[in-house]
A and B are shown apart, each in its own frame.
Chain A
Amino acid sequence: MTNTDWPLWEVFVRSRRGLSHTHAGSLHAPDAELALRNARDLYTRRGEGVSIWVVPSAAITASSPDEKDPFFEPAADKPYRHPTFYEIPEGVKHL
């Protein structure tokens, strides 16, 4: 396999109606239309999906691992944000 100048694309697949698109992986393709077709061949060959999104990897802004502490640490000591202080009434099954 030789290297190509093709950009990288991130692939999101919705497995069933009602679920949201989930990141499935990434691939190379010269443009969006072929990225969609490559995604179909690579990630939905066993009937995994009903819908595909492709996004140029370059378009994704990611949080940096270096910023982990200021980003995520402050949430750790705020237990009141978790819905654990409620008593679940009897007879409620799907909460």
Chain B
Amino acid sequence: MTADMTLDATTRTAALALGDDALVLSHRLGEWAGHAPVLEEEVALANIALDLLGQARVLLSMVGDEDELAYLREERAFRNLQLVEQPNGDFAHTIARQLYFSTYQHLLYAELAAAEGPFAPLAAKAVKEVAYHRDHAEQWTLRLGDGTDESRERMRRACGALWRFTGEMFQPVAGLDVDGTALEAAWLASVTAVLDRATLPVPEGPRTGAWAAGAGRQGLHTESFGRMLAEMQHLHRSHPGASW
């Protein structure tokens, strides 16, 4: 499939950013397959990964050939947030990443679904999926935070470690007609409320590094992203056009 030329260039830029978020997080969650702490949770994470992959396919198809975009781009051409490319770490890191991202994605898609832009049809469908992702992350945040000493400490550490990647979500993206300031306020209120209920401290410190502000959206990625891409792309690059 070729790019949807009825869409203007800025819309396609925005579709690429949102599509890369979904694609990269989907791949990260897929890495849990065979490694999750329990079978039930493995299925839950795989379900979320598949929802995101479906969103990525729609979004990337607005930009061009989805396979080419996913498997043949270099690291610097990806426009995803640095948050979603962060390694799974322990289960607490995965849940903290899910909490931060799915809260943002749910608020964003709800707004896009209500507007009449080019993303409304996708957002209207995806917002229901994402509501579940958000609920899943919140449920686990409550249980890990308000659980044992060990789970609480791990969850506290994970929330703190990923905090500095959360500012990037609210940087303006060309072609995405949303109020970043309002989105950020809603996000902060929601995440703070969940952390409070989970008896976890809201992390201190900046939510962006000077170097990280909007970096992922400009193609600058963190160290582990290259290794993730190598794994994600090697099959397609070794056997172009293979199918089963």
Which residues on A are within 8 Å of B, measured CB to CB?
1-2, 4, 6, 27-31, 33-34, 37-38, 41-42, 45
Give the Cβ gap from B227 to chain A, nearest Cβ, in Å: 26
Q: Is the contact region of chain B dominated by helix, strand, or loop, or is it mixed?
A: helix
Which residues on B are within 8 Å of A, measured CB to CB?
37-41, 43-44, 47, 135-136, 139, 143
Give the Cβ gap from B105 to chain A, nearest Cβ, in Å: 18
In the complex the two chains form, is B47's CB within 8 Å of A28's CB? no
Residues of B close to A45: CB separation below 8 A = 47
A1 to B39 CA separation, bound complex (whole angstroms):
7
In the complex the two chains form, is B40's CB within 8 Å of A38's CB? yes
In the complex the two chains form, is A41's CB within 8 Å of B40's CB? yes
A6 to B37 CA separation, bound complex (whole angstroms):
12
Selected contact of B38 from candidates A1, A31, A33, CB within 8 Å: A1
In the complex the two chains form, is A41's CB within 8 Å of B143's CB? no
Selected contact of A4 from candidates B37, B135, B139, CB within 8 Å: B37
Residues of A close to B136: CB separation below 8 A = 37
Residues of A close to B143: CB separation below 8 A = 30-31, 34
Give the Cβ gap from A7 to chain B, nearest Cβ, in Å: 12
Selected contact of A42 from candidates B37, B43, B135, B139, CB within 8 Å: B43
Give the Cβ gap from A67 to chain B, nearest Cβ, in Å: 33
